[in-house]
Structure 1
Amino acid sequence: MWPTLRAVLWSFVGVRRRQAYHDDAGSLNPLAVVLAGVFVGVVFVVFIVIVVQVVLA
């Protein structure tokens, strides 16, 4: 679980070494990567919404 989450978080940042990308591409489950990406995306959007509500309150 941690390698999948780590790969998704690095992809959100946009910084990844080529060798790490190739290592992950061969070892990670694509379905788990998609699900983790959706989860991290939803958490990010909820976080942004909360921050905006706090700032505007």
Structure 2
Amino acid sequence: MNAHGAGNPRRAGFWPTLRAVLWSFFGVRRRQAYMEDAGSLNPLAVVVAGVLAGAVFVILIVIAVQVVLA
């Protein structure tokens, strides 16, 4: 039990976490969706998904620049 006397809330899986991170990268979220995610997402999973998404983004930018300059 946590400090409020309730059991642990159910944690979101991989796809909902990735979807929330990608929407955050895009910068468009409804407040209700944000509040739902805040209660169900595992912070460690969000950090890992964010780092991976950021790495993929940087790799895609590098590839795009190489294609344009080739």
Q: What is the TM-score normalised by the length of structure 1? A: 0.99
Structure 1 counterpart of 2:46: 33
Structure 1 gaps, min length 5: none
Between Structure 1 and Structure 2, whose CA radius of gyration is higher?
2
Alignment match, 1:12: 25
Pick the structure with more helix per residue.
Answer: 1
Where structure 2 has 5 or more consecutive residues not aligned to the other structure, the ranges are: 1-13
Matching residue's letter, 2:60: F
Q: By how many angstroms is 1:26 displaced?
A: 0.2
Q: What is the total number of aligned residue pairs between the two structures?
A: 57
1:12 CA displacement: 0.2
- Name the % identity: 81
What SS does the corresponding residue of 1:42 show, helix, strand or coil? helix
Give 1:24's match in structure 2, choosing from 11, 14, 37. 37
Structure 1 distance, partners of 2:64, 2:41, is: 33
